[in-house]
Amino acid sequence: MSDVRPKTNPTDPLAALAEQVVEHRPGAVRGFLITLAPYVLRVVRQVLGRDHPDMEDLVQEALLGALDALPRFRGECTTLHFVQRIALLTALNSRRRFALREQLVPRAHDADADGVAAQGACPAEALDAARRRAVFGALLDELPAAQAEAPAMHCVLGYTVAETAAAVGAPVNTVRGRIVAAKAALRERLALDPIAQELFRGVS
């Protein structure tokens, strides 16, 4: 079996560091964790809200999962997208594990304080954005994991369809179909909930 290592991609600023981790270079793991931890924290917060009691544990779980998977990373996407995907899956699995249905009614300070989703927004807009993420997150909980991943990357993390396809290793048309299906399911959910429907008014 051939050795699988990250490709040194000149368009991926973290590819060289990832390769150093796989090669067990001194200090590489520490540098990798310090560099990627803020991105992982941001993803977990976007999915679970900033006040989740297991936030630190989930960030550590995602980072350790990324280190464990790194030798199998073939460079189909950027290293950052690869790690963010692992963080996303970790957070989605946590939602399912603990059935966090209270995310449907998030508190105002659950909005991302880092300004990832609502930079410059007024408090009411930030709260609405947090509620939209919560409603969409609850929908993702109901989908099979394989179907939930693509719409989560596209709609929650903001990846393009092509970036999502590269990260999950699926054809673009397959990913696009999963996103369309998730949006259709969301429309069905909104049709039964006028309050949630108002939250998504004007949102594509």
Q: Terminus-to-terminus CA distance in the chain, angstroms?
A: 46
Q: What is the CATH number of the domain that holds 194?
A: 1.10.10.10
pTM of the model: 0.71
What is the SS3 assignment for 145-188? HHHHHHHHHHHHCCCCHHHHHHHHCCCHHHHHHHHHHHHHHHHH
pLDDT at residue 107 is higher than 60: no
Q: Is 103 exposed, middle or buried (0-12, 13-18, 19+ CB in 10 A)?
A: buried
pLDDT at residue 146 is higher than 50: yes
Kindly state whether residue 111 falls inside one of the protein's structural domains: no
Q: Are residues 77 and 154 in the same domain?
A: no
Kindly state whether residue 112 falls inside one of the protein's structural domains: no
Residue 151 CA, chain-centre distance (Å), reads: 10
Kindly state whether residue 127 falls inside one of the protein's structural domains: yes
Q: What is the mean pLDDT of the chain?
A: 80
Residue 18 pLDDT class (50, 70, 90 cuts): very high
Last residue of a domain, one of 38, 69, 102: 102
pLDDT at residue 20 is higher than 70: yes
Last residue of a domain, one of 102, 130, 150: 102
Last residue of a domain, one of 75, 102, 129: 102
How large a percentage of the chain has pLDDT more than 70?
A: 78
Residue 50 pLDDT class (50, 70, 90 cuts): confident
Domains of the chain: total: 2
Q: Are residues 83 and 19 in the same domain?
A: yes
Q: Are residues 28 and 85 in the same domain?
A: yes
Q: What is the CATH number of the domain that holds 32?
A: 1.10.1740.10
